[in-house]
Every structure is written in structure tokens, then in C-alpha cells.
Structure 1
Amino acid sequence: MEVDFGEIRTYFTDLLDARLGGRAIECSDQWFAGCENLVNPDPPIYKDRHFISTGQWMDGWESRRAFGRRARTIDHDWCVLRLGAPGTLCAFNIDTSHFKGNAPEYASVDGAWQPLGEETDLNWFNILPRSAIEPDSPNYFKVLSERPVSHLRLQIYPDGGVARLRAFGEVRLAREQFAKDELVDLASISNGARPQQCSNQFFSTPANLLMPNTARHMGDGWETKRRRDEKHDWCIIKLGCTGDVRKIIVDTSHFRGNFPDSCSVDGINSANRDVEPGDSDWQRILPPTPLQADRAHIFTGDFLNCAGQQFSHIRLNIYPDGGVSRLRVYGSPEYGD
């Protein structure tokens, strides 16, 4: 099926991303390449004529040749994976990049819902029927099921290699995991936040701002191209849920010669899923404040002008341009119904 990949990246999150805690749990066979590569957030690479003990090194999951062999007991290989953030899926990318003469012909995906407890005897249901896939190519498929999932089972027919599995969807906020009156990072992608739009993402996506843990390197943040005008760059974040704002962290880790000179933060409370930068209801939460290189900047108390107010979206403004690795917005969530 045709899927607008740009729309998926804008509105949905890869819930299998290893940075969120996505993991490959077990598989039928991983003779040539380990199944843990499926959830690697980096694009797959290829090293020509780089041989290891099992053969050509491949950046993905690859099973041994089984088709037509006497020892074959089933007609496919499989891999079970745990989503880093359970939720509802809208699309898959079964990426076979660099797998040319060793890609599967078909693939299917099952889902299960068991976010807590033992990961055995899962009750599987199909969310992507057996579908033809192309070698050395991204393969996008829409997910028609609206049932939430915590685990996936990728099945490839008859055998071969897949570089990455991306599972795009919306996070199901696990309210039961939060204590009463606990401050929550409302801008965490694990809690359902997502970037809505930005002025520029030339070097890297603003989705990186919302990832858990510290950035791995400069490419694991949001960085804009160099400006040559009097304007500034900005990014709008839809919070995981509406809440007040008690603490903001703007982290410029790894950005040394390219950090912004200063930043400010605005907020808005809107019933609309998407808001526009020109909306008149934006309110200044953090006034323009100087930033430093490679440092986490923490703003609380009198730094913030938002006592007792609720926000559904925030806008990070950076002056004039540059890179930020992480943005944290801690507050008390208003869960609603």
C-alpha cells in the first residue's frame, strides 16, 4: 500500500526505536546477523567485502538458508520484539536495504498486548497479512488494526534478511505507572509527546529532542541549517497530555561550535491536535535566555512565567539557529477522561 512517509514521520513515532527501549526478544534463527539490529535507530549501512566467521557482515537480521533443506520444519523464520512504548500502530517499514540476493519474498506481522508481566504465551493476532516485499528497499505498509500492541512478531518467508523494522504509531500513556502528584516529563516521546512542526530540520529531526536518556552524539539532537536573515528557528511540540509546567531543561550536549546563542519557550492550551505558530494565544513561559555550549540548562521557579496554567503544546524558540540535543518539560499532567 502507498503510505506518505513524510506524514508518518511528522505525526507518528517509531515505537520500536531502541532509544525508547524497543528490543528483539527471540527469533527462530540469526545465523548471519543478529535480530537486535532490527530496532537500531540509525540507518543501515553496508561494508563491502567485510567478512566475519559466518560470512559477509550485514547490518540487519539474517537467518540461514532454509528453503529446500531437509532440516526445514516450518515455511518461515520469525522474530519476536517488544515495543519500547506500547501503543496503537498505523504503519510499518520493513526495510531490506543492502539485502539484495538474500531478502525474503514475503513478510507478515502479528501483534500482542501484554505490557506487563511475563513475555510468554502471548495471544497473537494478525495486523499485517502476508505481503510481498522488495529487496534492498524500504517496504511501507498501512496497519488496519486499531488494537493496541506491546509486542510484535515479524515473520519472513521463506528466509533471508531484513535490515530494520519500523513500527509507526501513537504511544498509549501508561497512567498506572505514575504516582499521584508525580511530576511527569510532558515532552517525552515515551509519554506520548511528538513534534508537530518546525521552521527547519536540515541536519536532524526535532523528534530527537523528546527521546529518553542523554543524546549519544551531535546527530542525536535537533539541528537547523545556518541562517542568513534576521529570523530565528522554532519547533512546536504537542505534549503527551495537557498539564502545568514546573521545570524546563534545554540541553545543548555535544553542540559546541553550533549551539544557539539563546532560547525562549512559549505555551498554548488548545483543544486542536495541531496548532499554528501564528496563533494569537501563545504565551511566553521562558523569556529569551542565553545558552552555553554542551550543557544542560535548568529553568524552574521565577525563571518561568506560567504558575497555575495548563498547556497542551509548547514552542521552543532558538536564536538565531543551531542545535539542541534534548528538551524536558516537567509538570503535573491533567489526564482528563
Structure 2
Amino acid sequence: MDFDRLPELGHVLSVDQFDRPFLDKICDVTQEIRELRDKPDGKRLLKEQFADRTAMLYFTQPSSRTYTSFAVACQELGVSIVDVRDPHTSSEVKEESLLDSIRTFSSYVDVLIMRSPVEGLARDAAAYLDATPRPRPIVNAGNAKDEHPTQALLDIYTMRRSFKDRGGVDGKTVAFVGDLARSRVVRSLAKLMYHYYDMQLLLVSPPEFRMKPDILAHLDQHRVRYEETADFNGAVRQADVVYMTRVQDEHDAADGTRSPRSFPEFHFTQEHLGILRPEAIVMHPGPRRDELDPATDDDPRSKYWRQMRNGKHLREAVIACILATLQRKRNERRR
């Protein structure tokens, strides 16, 4: 594996910055890293790549899977990590602005990986740092209800790998199920669908959690076929991918609403395995509640545990591309 030839990558802020060649390449890099790790000296070689680099994990919104997968991804590349998980432990309690805090952190690290309840913070931080003498790449690890680009990338990788003998992602029917209005994961993944040929989306939700108009407008603009429906069983029968999501009630305070914890008519159970197509898959970004029955876990079509593991592999590829790009730029400045 030639780390000097990894695709160029700076900030990772939105899926809007990705095109089909990049999506294909980042999936290829992810697979190459997995295969390298399985070789006798693979783990050592990976750990030597970026042993002089440091990443900041700025996670001021609750996270387990995303935080841990980024942390382990960094460690497997030899990247040191420092973190802030509680803003009360930083100078923000002294009324330092968020952007000043981020600029301070950027003085000590090579890349900042951010999850925040503040909408647009990653984008604003990237623009702010780009205007300073010492810019640093920002990775959006999930901002409010906005986007979650690395989750969308790992979902694409999971789909491509699951359908490697059926033409990959192209030509598939994807059923997004649940709180489509507030799931940043669904928003990001839905926006990527136009890069693939002959896709059809089934948007399955209660009326109050329909997909937001901006995403529907994006699908219309790019001529992605979609259908909004409450017929969950019909969608399960038709779909190649059943993508389950939970009710995002952590956003209730900001919305001034109080959501039901779940909608039983949109729960995926063992009974649904009987109507799910033999070659279809079930995905879920986690964490799950009762919208996805644990009794379905052992079915070979249930890919959500593999999907979770893929998070570490994909994020390792993203970090490697960012740090390789930084190294190339530094080498060019020295010439």
C-alpha cells in the first residue's frame, strides 16, 4: 500500500464535497488498509505511518461508537490523541468563544475531529482556521441535526461490500425508516444517492417525521426516484437495504417538542425477516432502541454490527488521507 498516493483530502465537512470517484477511492483505501492489517507486519507498518502526528477529538455531544471508532482508528495509525468531551473542562466556562477555543486546540494538533450540538460549528471552524496563518483540517463527526459525513461514507462502504457480487451500490432500492426529519445520518446518506445509477429511495416514516424539504429538493434536483410512504411492510418487501433509525428525541428541547420514544408500526422484528428479500440487508447506525429487535441480530442479512465495525476501518482511511495530504503539502513547502 502506497501512502504517498492516497487521495487528497482536507476538511471533511459535508457529503456535498464528495464525488463518485472519491467515494470509490475511499472505499478502495478502506479495503487496502484492512488487507494490510491482516498481513504479518501490517499492524506495525500502519502504526509507523503517522507516529509523529496528533489528533484532537472535540466531542461535546454524547457519542460512543463515533468517538471510539475515531480514537481506535487514530491509534492504529500511530496518531496520538487528546480530547475534550466536556466543555466545562475547557476555557469555554470562562466565556472564551468556541472559535477561540478551537484555534487554541489547533496550535497543538494536526487535525481536529469534532462532534457538537452547535449546528454548522465544523464549517465555521474550518473557515475560521483557513483564515489564520496555521490552518488545520476539520473533520465533522456529527453536528446537531445537520450532517454526519463519515457515517455516510462508512454506510456506502458497507453497502458496496455487502453487494460486491451484485454490482455494488448501483441499482438498489433503499428504504430509510424512522425519524427522517432529524436524522443527520439519513440526511447525509440520502444526499449521496445521486452518485449511483438507477437508485430508488423509500422514505418510510410517521407524518411528523417526514424527510425535510431541503433533502427532497436535493433528490428532485438530481432526479433520484423516491416515494414517501407509511407502508413499512411493503417497503421491507421491496427494499435491497432496510435502513432503520431511532427517534432522535435528544433534539426535542431545541425543537420545543416532546416525541414518542418509538412507533411500534415501524419496528423491524423477526416477522419482517420472513418478508425481507433473500439478498437484502438491514442496517442501523446505532444506538438502537426497540425499533430493531435484537432477535434479528443473527440473521446473515443483518449487517448493522458489521456496519459498526466498518466505522473504524473507514475512519482510519479518512484520517490517513488527511494526514498524507498534510505531509505532501509540507514536503512541497520545503522544496
The structure with higher relative contact order (CA 8 Å, sep 6+) is 2
Q: With the length of structure 1 as denominator, give the TM-score of the two structures.
A: 0.26
Q: With the length of structure 2 as denominator, give the TM-score of the two structures.
A: 0.26
